[in-house]
Amino acid sequence: LDDPGLDIAAGEEFLQEVFQILLEEGVRKSTDVTQKVCDWKEPQELRELLDLELRNEGEGQERLLQRCRDVLRLSVRTGHPRFFNQLFSGLDHHALAGRFLTETLNTSPYTYEVAPVLVLMEEQVLAKLRELVGWSSGDGIFAPGGSMSNMLAMNVARFQRFPESRSKGNWDLPRLAVFASQESHYSILKGAALLGIGTDNVHLVRTDERGKMIPEELEKEIQRVKAEGSEPLFVCATSGTTVLGSFDQLDAIADVCARHGLWLHVDAAWGGSALLSPQLRHLLAGIHRSDSVTWNPHKLLMVGLQCSAFLLRDSSGLLQRCHGVGATYLFQRDKFYDVSLDTGDKSPQCGRRADGLKLWVLWKAVGTRGLARRVERAFAATRYLLEQVKRREGFQLVMEPEFLNLCFWFIPPSLRGQDSSPEFWDKLGKVAPAIKEKMIRRGSMMVGYQPHGSRVNFFRQVITNPAVTRQDLDFFLDEIQELGWDL
Ligand code: ABU
């Protein structure tokens, strides 16, 4: 015990090398359009390549450095300009610096005493996001992903209506009812299961042909559920649905909620960033009337996984009362500083990542205007691609995109000119998976596909990365055409 149990000099030397690898493999190559997006390996081959077994003795530096290179080389390059697979993509250097800082600090922003800088940054970032929602006051906390933010909303709504549910659980409660659209995120069902509300008590309200919740159907569903003896509690509207990118009509939904005294939550995990753009914020008109909002800057703002803000209109301390337990080893009331800065008890988590820091660094770097320009560039890129899809033979739009989700089928020559029979749709449904397999094996790009309701598999193209150019978008369509030509 007379000497440290760590070789600090060797550790620093190792890190120096790792930083070089990170810069070369993780940043430069990962964002270089001439590199592959992925290097597909079958799972068994990958297991063997990685030599995953954990042994009794450690390995030397050179071997470990090679392992670091392998991790980067064999992983999917989500920062690549031709990675379009998820609602997140791209690599922002400033945000990445924020992520490095967060990892290096290795602290939890539950108390001011162990994370003074991070607590204040989180406070500032949340206030700024709330301001964009249209609230001059309120509350909030960063959560580990949009699903958790949506679940927090449900939990806070239940606590606000039935404060005793915190201590008594669900024993004393009426049968609660939750409403969300058929296009809503699956986390609403998961949240109902996790919170003991029950998935049977989630009522999926019908949507129109654009995927927007029909407010009149919400009204009818509330009436029906009430007549059956349930207690409507919570409505989740969606601003930017996962597949179609639709925006619910928040004002009309807020009217229904006001009439019935229901909590209105807006899942703006995907579409919230449109609030930054004067050109696009109309998509969320009425959001200021909600009680809570989920907004994931890790998606469209390219902050890096994960960064999900749960925002609350309430400024009476509801969040703290709902989740706080006041563990005396963390949240001592007799500390020498303002203990309202010990915000950790607002969250059901204890250890929590400091997800506000990277957003703060990015915001400082590009400003609100720079963030808005990104959103608008993504929108402009989508419009360009839309025009190309309309022009090209064999590409068929699922619907005109409202936002950034461009959904389309590619019809190979063998299926063109055929009747729209069940056989035709059956064959067409196999096209997107076949093209996807080819593109992954080739490593040229990645894009998502899915069936949707009665629609067979189609591609969902989403551009969030400002590094994407017109050439990348032309390549994207050329590649689909080439890969799908012989199917
Ligand atoms: N929150 C759902 C996102 C899934 C996707 O990237 O498509």
DSSP secondary structure letters along 215-251:
HHHHHHHHHHHHHTT-EEEEEEEEBS-TTT--B--HH
What is the pLDDT at residue 249? 98
481: nearest Cα among 392, 381, 385, 391: 392
> Which residue, by CA, sits nearest to atom 5 of ligand 1?
86
Per residue of the chain (487 residues), give pLDDT as tens.
Answer: 999 999 999 999 999 999 999 999 999 999 999 999 999 999 999 999 999 999 999 999 999 999 999 999 999 999 999 999 999 999 999 999 999 999 999 999 999 999 999 999 999 999 999 999 999 999 999 999 999 999 999 999 999 999 999 999 998 899 999 999 999 999 999 999 999 999 999 999 999 999 999 999 999 999 999 999 999 999 999 999 999 999 999 999 999 999 999 999 999 999 999 999 999 999 999 999 999 999 999 999 999 999 999 999 999 999 999 999 999 999 999 999 999 999 999 999 999 999 999 999 999 999 999 999 999 999 999 999 999 999 999 999 999 999 999 999 999 999 998 888 999 999 999 999 999 999 999 999 999 999 999 999 999 999 999 999 999 999 999 999 999 999 9
Q: What is the pLDDT of residue 159?
A: 98
Which residue type is seen at 84? F
State the pLDDT at residue 172.
86
Closest residue to atom 6 of ligand 1, CA basis: 86
467 Cα: distance to centroid of ligand 1 (angstroms): 20
Pairing of strands 292-295, 308-312: antiparallel
Which one, of 93, 77, 74, lies nearest residue 85 by Cα?
Answer: 77
Helices 146-161 and 187-194, packing angle to 10 deg: 50
The alpha carbon of 259 is separated from its chain's Cα centroid by a whole number of angstroms, namely 31
Distance (angstroms) between ligand 1 centre and the Cα of 270 equals 8
What's the order of all strands across the beta sheet hosting 202-205?
Answer: 139-143, 308-312, 292-295, 263-267, 231-238, 176-181, 202-205
Q: Are 310 and 332 in contact (CB under 8 A)?
A: no
CA distance 114 to 286: 38
Q: In what order do the strands lie in the sheet with 455-462?
A: 83-84, 446-452, 455-462, 405-410, 395-397
Residue-range domain boundaries for the chain: 108-353
Q: Which of 188, 239, 242 to mutate to test the pocket of ligand 1 (most atoms within 8 A of CB)?
A: 242
Q: Are 127 and 119 in contact (CB under 8 A)?
A: no
- Please work out whether the CB of residue 87 comes within 6 Å of at least one atom of ligand 1: yes
Q: What is the pLDDT of residue 420?
A: 87
**Bridge-partner residues for 176, per DSSP?**
231
**Single pTM value for the model:** 0.97
Ligand 1 center to 448 CA (angstroms): 10
- Give the total residue count for the chain: 487
Residue 188: its pLDDT value, please? 98
DSSP state of 213: B
CATH topology assigned to domain 108-353:
Aspartate Aminotransferase; domain 2 (3.40.640)
d(CA 78, CA 416): 34
| Cα–Cα distance measured from residue 352 to residue 363, given in angstroms and rounded to the nearest whole number | 21
Distance 185 CA to ligand 1 centre (A): 9
Tell me if 446 CB under 6 Å of ligand 1: no
How far does the centroid of ligand 1 lie from the alpha carbon of residue 243, in Å?
8
